[in-house]
C-alpha cells in the first residue's frame, strides 16, 4: 500500500522552505484525520512533523540511519516514506511503530523507551569497524532520556562515535508530568534568554560555513566557543547544539545542514510542542497521547476498577502507597493521584527505579502497589527478583495490559509475564476473572503481606458472576460443573471465553474452573480433576505459561494426565484488535469449543 504522499522523502530534497511548510500542514492534517479514523498516538506525532521533514530534507535515508526512540513520533516519517496511515494499527495495515518489515527506512522496531542511543552507538561501532560513512541519527524524547538504558548509553563513554547525532526532542513533558533532575538540567538551557540570539547566530554561521566548504573544519572550532555549551552533554562526548525551535523549518534545516557538514558527535536540542497545530491536543497533550477512533479514550475496565480499589483501600490503610512509571492515567491512577498526591509515586519512564524504590518503601513499613503494563515490567525483572522477592518484601505488582494488547502490536504485547514471573521464588501470582474478583484477589494478596503480582488485560471486561471468594482453601473456583472434560482457564478473557465455549458445545458439559491463582496452583483441584480430560486455556505464551505450570505439576507428582495446553505460540504478535489477535492464535471461545468437542471424542 502506497500512502497519499508517495515516496516524498526523495523529492523533498529539492523543496523550498515554503514548500516544506505547506507539506507540514498537509502531513499534520493527514495525521489528525487518520488518527481520528484509526486511533493512535496523536500528541507526540504532531509535535515531530517539522523535525521529521527537516531530517528527510537534509539527510539521505535509508543510507543514513534514522532511529526513533519509542516510535511515538514516526507517523510523519511513515508518510514521507510511502506508507499509508488509512490502515494504521489495523490488522494487516500500517504499524503504529517503526518496523523494518514494513520499510527499509526503519532500522529497528521500537516501542519501548530508551534504546535509541545504545542502538545508534551500536550501528556506529559496526560502521566504523567496517569502514562505512553514513550518519546515524537517534531521535529521543526528553522523558525517554531519563530511562536507565538511555542514561547508561549517554554515560557509556566520554568519546562518542563520529557522525552520530542524537536529536533530543524536547517537548517538556513525558506522558505524565516530568519532575526529574535530568529534565531540570535540560530546561535550564531553554530558559536562557539569549538562546534565540544564539540560534540565529549559529544558524547563519552554519549556512555561511557550508558555503565555504573546505574551510569548514577550521571555522567549526571557532564556532564551538559560541555554541550554547552544556556540561552535561559535552561531558558525555557530544557537541551540544541548541535549543532550536522544532516548528521552524527554516531554522531546523539550516542547523541540520550545519551538523551534517561536520563529523563530530552532536546532540541537537530541539524544542517542540506536543500536539502542535491541533488546539485540543496542544491544550491537553496527555489526553491526546494515545487515543482510539474519534479521539475517544480507551476504556479499560480493570484499570478503572484498580484506581477505585486503590483509592478505597488507601482510605482505610494509611500505609498503602501507589507507584507507577509514567503511566498514571493508563493504569487508572489519576483519581488516586488527586486524592492522595503524597502517596502516588510516579517514577517517570524508569521501571527499574520504580520497583527498587518500592522495595525500599516496603522495607520502611509502607505497602507499595506498583502499577505497570506487562510489557514494560520486563524492564524490572531483576528488581522484582533481587530487590523485592529475595528480600521477601510485601510489594504488590498490578500488571495491566496482560494478554493481547491489540493495536499497539508487537512491542506492547503482554504475553510473557507469566513465563517470566511464575518461577520467581516467593512471588504469589494471580489472574482475576473480572473486576469484582480483582478486589477479592487484591485483598487476599494484601493480607498475606508477601510479594505478589496480579495480571489483567486491557479493554472491556464484563463481570462473570461466581461467588466463591478466593481463600487459601478455595484458591480456584469452579464456575460450572461438568463431566469428562475440564477446562482450566486462567485470566479474565480466558475465563469469559471458557464460559462462552461451554454454551457453544451444549449439550456437552465440560467443567469450567477459574484458575485465578497461578502461583501457587490449586493442588486440591488439580488432584481432583486429574482423571478428567484437561484443557488449560490462557492468553499468553503457552511456552512457560500457566498450562506449562499445570503440566509441570502433574509431572513432578509423577501423575500421567491427558492434558491439552491452549495458549499463544511464542511469536511477536503484530497489530490488530485484541479479538483478532485471539483469532489469529486460535484462542477464541469457538477455538476452545472445537477443542472441547475433540476431547470428548478422544478415546480413554
Q: State which of positions 117-146 bind a copy of itself (CB under 8 A).
A: 118-127, 129-130, 132, 146
Pick one of 12, 85, 109, 337: the residue that binds a copy of itself (CB under 8 A).
109
Q: How many CB atoms lie within 10 A of CB 221?
A: 9
Pick one of 91, 378, 480, 597: the residue that binds a copy of itself (CB under 8 A).
378
Pick one of 17, 219, 468, 561: the residue that binds a copy of itself (CB under 8 A).
561
Q: Which stretch binds a copy of itself (CB under 8 A): 32-40, 476-484, 495-503, 557-565?
A: 557-565
Nearest residue to 492 (alpha-carbon basis) of 519, 524, 454:
454
- How far from each other are the two terminal CA atoms of the chain, in whole angstroms? 52
Nearer to a copy of itself, 107 or 332 (CB): 107
Pick one of 52, 81, 147, 311: the residue that binds a copy of itself (CB under 8 A).
147
425 lies in the binding site for a copy of itself (CB under 8 A): yes
Nearer to a copy of itself, 200 or 570 (CB): 570
Nearer to a copy of itself, 186 or 435 (CB): 186
Nearer to a copy of itself, 28 or 77 (CB): 77
Q: Which of residues 568-587 bind a copy of itself (CB under 8 A)?
A: 570-572
How far does Cα 543 stand from its chain's mean position? 22
Give, to the nearest 10 degrees, the angle between helix 249-260 and helix 17-38. 110
Burial (CB < 10 A; 0-12, 13-18, 19+), residue 460, is: exposed
451 lies in the binding site for a copy of itself (CB under 8 A): no
Q: How far apart are CA 290 and CA 558, in angstroms?
A: 49
Q: How far apart are CA 82 and CA 208, in angstroms?
A: 34
351 is annotated as an active-site residue: yes
Q: Which stretch binds a copy of itself (CB under 8 A): 33-41, 43-51, 245-253, 386-394?
A: 386-394
563 lies in the binding site for a copy of itself (CB under 8 A): yes
The answer to whether 160 and 91 have CB atoms below 8 angstroms apart is: no
The answer to whether 332 and 339 have CB atoms below 8 angstroms apart is: no
Q: How far is the CB of 412 from a copy of itself (least distance, A)?
A: 10
Nearest residue to 373 (alpha-carbon basis) of 410, 414, 411:
414
Query: Which cell is 257 given?
Result: 545542514
Pick one of 33, 299, 382, 527: the residue that binds a copy of itself (CB under 8 A).
382
Q: Which of residues 460-479 bind a copy of itself (CB under 8 A)?
A: none
Sorted by sequence, the CB contacts under 8 Å of residue 532 that are 6+ apart come out as 483, 484, 485, 486, 511
Q: How far apart are CA 281 and CA 18, in angstroms?
A: 25
Binding-site sequence positions for thiamine diphosphate: 72, 111-113, 143-144, 171, 278, 351
Nearer to a copy of itself, 211 or 231 (CB): 231
Query: Which cell is 525 given?
Result: 483441584
Q: Which of residues 293-332 bind a copy of itself (CB under 8 A)?
A: 319, 321
Q: 12 by DSSP, 3-state: which?
A: helix
> Among 57, 78, 127, 379, which one carries the catalytic annotation?
379
Nearer to a copy of itself, 507 or 603 (CB): 603
Detail the DSSP E strand segments found in 182-326: 239-245, 266-271, 290-291, 320-324
**Helix (H) / strand (E) containing 115:** helix 115-130
Binding-site sequence positions for Mg(2+): 142, 171
Q: How far is the CB of 411 from a copy of itself (least distance, A)?
A: 6
Q: Using alpha carbons, list the distances in angstroms from residue 235 to 145, 168, 199, 229.
A: 16, 16, 21, 10
229 lies in the binding site for a copy of itself (CB under 8 A): no
Q: Which stretch binds a copy of itself (CB under 8 A): 179-187, 193-201, 218-226, 492-500?
A: 179-187
Q: How far is the CB of 349 from a copy of itself (least distance, A)?
A: 9
Q: Which stretch binds a copy of itself (CB under 8 A): 35-43, 410-418, 448-456, 482-490?
A: 410-418
Number of residues that bind a copy of itself (CB under 8 A): 111
Render 158-205 in DSSP notation, one character per residue. SSPPTTEEEEEEE-S--SS----HHHHHHHHHHH-TTHHHHHHHHHHH
Nearest residue to 1 (alpha-carbon basis) of 91, 75, 94:
94
Nearer to a copy of itself, 261 or 378 (CB): 378
274 is annotated as an active-site residue: yes
> Among 28, 65, 274, 511, which one carries the catalytic annotation?
274
207 is annotated as an active-site residue: no
198 lies in the binding site for a copy of itself (CB under 8 A): no
Catalytic residues: 274, 351, 379
Amino acid at each position: 500500500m502506497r500512502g497519499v504522499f508517495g515516496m516524498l522523502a526523495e523529492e523533498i530534497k529539492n523543496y523550498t522552505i515554503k514548500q516544506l511548510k505547506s507539506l507540514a500542514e498537509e502531513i499534520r492534517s493527514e495525521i489528525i484525520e487518520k488518527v481520528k479514523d484509526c486511533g493512535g498516538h496523536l500528541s507526540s506525532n504532531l509535535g515531530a512533523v517539522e523535525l521529521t521533514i527537516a531530517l528527510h530534507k537534509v539527510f539521505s535515508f535509508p543510507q543514513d540511519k534514522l532511529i526513533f526512540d519509542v516510535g511515538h513520533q514516526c507517523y510523519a516519517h511513515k508518510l514521507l516514506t510511502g506508507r499509508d496511515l488509512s490502515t494504521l494499527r489495523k490488522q494487516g495495515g500500517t504499524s503504529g511503530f517503526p518496523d523494518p518489515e514494513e520499510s527499509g527506512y526503519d532500522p529497528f522496531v521500537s516501542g519501548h523507551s530508551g534504546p535509541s542511543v545504545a542502538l545508534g552507538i551500536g550501528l556506529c561501532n559496526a560502521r566504523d569497524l567496517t569502514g562505512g560513512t553514513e550518519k546515524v541519527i537517534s531521535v529521543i524524547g526528553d522523558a525517554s532520556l531519563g530511562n536507565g538504558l538511555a542514561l547508561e548509553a549517554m554515560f557509556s563513554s566520554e568519546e562518542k562515535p563520529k557522525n552520530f547525532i542524537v536529536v533530543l526532542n524536547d517537548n517538556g513533558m513525558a506522558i505524565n508530568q516530568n519532575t526529574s533532575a535530568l529534565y531540570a538540567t535540560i530546561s535550564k538551557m531553554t530558559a536562557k534568554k539569549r538562546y534565540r540570539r544564539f540560534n540565529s547566530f549559529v544558524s547563519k554561521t552554519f549556512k555561511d560555513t557550508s558555503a565555504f566548504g573546505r574551510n569548514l573544519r577550521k571555522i567549526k572550532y571557532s564556532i564551538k566557543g559560541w555554541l550554547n555549551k552544556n556540561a552535561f552533554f559535552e561531558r558525555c562526548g557530544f557537541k551540544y547544539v541548541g535549543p532550536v525551535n522544532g516548528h521552524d523549518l527554516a531554522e531546523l534545516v539550516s542547523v541540520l545542514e550545519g551538523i551534517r557538514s561536520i563529523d563530530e558527535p552532536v546532540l541537537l536540542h530541539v524544542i517542540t510542542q506536543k500536539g502542535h497545530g491541533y488546539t485540543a491536543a496542544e491544550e491537553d497533550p496527555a489526553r491526546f497521547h494515545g487515543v482510539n477512533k474519534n479521539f475517544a479514550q480507551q476504556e479499560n475496565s480493570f484499570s478503572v476498577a484498580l484506581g477505585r480499589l486503590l483509592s478505597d483501600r488507601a482510605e482505610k490503610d494509611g500505609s498503602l502507597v501507589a507507584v507507577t512509571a509514567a503511566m498514571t492515567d493508563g493504569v487508572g491512577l489519576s483519581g488516586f493521584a488527586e486524592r492522595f498526591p503524597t502517596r502516588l509515586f510516579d517514577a517517570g519512564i524508569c521501571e527499574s527505579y520504580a520497583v527498587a524504590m518500592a522495595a525500599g518503601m516496603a522495607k520502611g513499613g509502607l505497602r507499595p502497589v506498583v502499577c505497570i503494563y506487562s510489557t514494560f515490567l520486563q524492564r524490572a525483572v531483576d528488581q522484582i527478583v533481587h530487590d523485592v522477592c529475595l528480600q521477601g518484601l510485601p510489594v504488590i505488582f498490578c500488571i495491566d495490559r496482560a494478554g493481547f494488547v491489540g493495536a499497539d502490536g508487537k512491542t506492547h504485547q503482554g504475553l510473557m509475564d507469566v513465563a517470566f514471573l511464575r518461577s520467581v521464588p516467593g512471588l504469589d501470582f494471580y489472574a482475576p476473572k473480572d473486576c469484582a474478583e480483582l478486589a477479592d484477589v487484591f485483598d487476599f494478596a494484601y493480607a498475606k503481606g508477601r510479594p505478589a503480582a496480579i495480571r489483567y488485560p486491557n479493554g472491556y471486561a464484563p463481570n462473570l458472576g461466581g461467588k466463591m471468594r478466593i481463600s487459601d482453601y478455595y484458591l480456584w473456583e469452579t464456575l460450572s460443573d461438568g463431566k469428562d472434560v475440564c477446562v482450566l482457564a486462567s485470566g479474565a478473557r480466558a475465563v469469559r471465553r471458557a464460559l462462552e465455549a461451554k454454551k457453544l458445545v451444549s449439550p456437552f458439559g465440560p467443567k469450567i474452573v477459574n484458575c485465578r491463582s497461578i502461583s501457587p496452583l490449586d493442588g486440591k483441584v488439580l488432584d481432583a480433576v486429574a482423571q478428567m480430560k484437561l484443557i488449560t486455556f490462557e492468553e499468553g505464551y503457552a511456552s512457560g505459561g500457566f498450562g506449562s505450570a499445570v503440566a509441570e505439576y502433574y509431572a513432578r507428582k509423577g501423575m500421567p494426565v491427558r492434558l491439552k495446553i491452549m495458549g499463544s505460540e511464542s511469536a511477536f504478535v503484530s497489530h490488530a484488535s485484541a479479538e483478532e489477535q485471539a483469532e489469529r492464535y486460535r484462542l477464541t471461545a469457538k477455538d476452545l469449543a472445537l477443542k472441547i468437542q475433540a476431547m470428548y471424542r478422544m478415546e480413554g
